[in-house]
Structure 1
Amino acid sequence: MRFKLGNENNRKYLAIIPTVILSPLLYIGIIMIWIFSVSYYPKIDFNKQEWNENKEERYKMSNDIIKSEILIGKTKEEVIELLGDDFYFYDESHIAYDLGFVPGLFNIDPDVLDIYFEKGKVTKVGQHET
């Protein structure tokens, strides 16, 4: 048994209505999935060995370093002992470590981990795109 919807004259219009409604939703869904997949990256806990071996993916650990405040109160020597000596020296109160390229839609510049000192101790840790 065949199911008949409408008559011969309006059947093509009944097919166009779902197409007009569903096509944009499908395209928007595909674009959103693509944006989320390009922007996603795993955030992992800080690991000294991984930090030193994989410099291009340090950004995965930067969130843990900032949120856990593991550097707050440490001296510059303690920071260098933990993170290594491959940092940029801005001045006595500011150094930065390369984090690599954070995945993102329009991210074309690498990020750095900024470490700020006051009276020889870390007071603030942040991250920015160069």
Structure 2
Amino acid sequence: MNYMAFLFILIVSIPIYMVCKWSLRRLKFGNDKNRKYLAVLPTIVLSPLVYVVIITLWVLSISYYSTIDFNQEIWKSNTEERFKMSKNIIESEMLVGKTKEEVIAILGDKYYLNNEDGLAYGLGVLPGLLSIDPSFLFIEFENGIVKKVYQYDS
């Protein structure tokens, strides 16, 4: 274990110990002398758990990104931030029922994949702790008409 993690757990354990000791006094559990020893066991158990919860909340918070409504100018000019608009494109189903030519007119001609089954547009790298690969917006066609639009990570 990293010494910083140990130091963080130690810092977290001080208020946990105080709360445990206070709780034992409120519950009138034990006497004044042995309450400080009784408070050590829950402190040892709770401190690493609180550390894990704090780290988990931190990871979840850095994985969050805001979404914006689709804007054709922003989509075409800022290819690394397209992921912010992908949710709006998918949920609004704005492309479903359109032809390939109409989709290219809306999203532009800078796509990664173009075959009879679909088009793939790069969305950039989604924010996240271990996110290093780009994501793509895949537009699936059936008989030349958009059937489904979804996002996938490479």
TM-score bracket, shorter-length normalisation: 0.7 to 0.9
Aligned to 1:35: 59
Structure 1 residue 32: deviation in Å?
1.6
Name 1:53's counterpart in structure 2: 77
Aligned length: 125
Q: Which residue of 1 aligns with 2:32?
A: 6
Task: Give the letter aligned to residue 6 of structure 1.
Answer: D
* RCO higher in structure (CA 8 A, sep ≥6): 1
RMSD of equivalent CA atoms? 2.0
Q: Which has the higher strand share?
A: 1
The two structures have a TM-score, normalised by structure 1, of 0.83
Q: Flag structure 2 segments of 5+ consecutive residues without an equivalent.
A: 1-24, 26-30
From the superposition, tell whether residues 11 and 116 of structure 1 become closer, same or farther in structure 2 (CA, over 3 Å): closer
Give 1:82 deviation, angstroms. Answer: 0.8
Contact 2:63 2:127 in 1 (8 A): yes
**Richer in helix (by share):** 2
TM (norm. structure 2) is: 0.71
- Counterpart for residue 17 of structure 1: 41
Shift of 1:99: 0.3
Distance 1:15 1:118 in 2: 66
Name structure 1 gaps, 5 residues minimum: none
Identity %: 55
CA shift at 1:87, angstroms? 0.6
**C-alpha offsets along residues 64-85 of structure 1, whole Å, 9 cap, x if unaligned?**
1111110011111111111111
Which one is further off, 79-88 or 10-19? Answer: 10-19
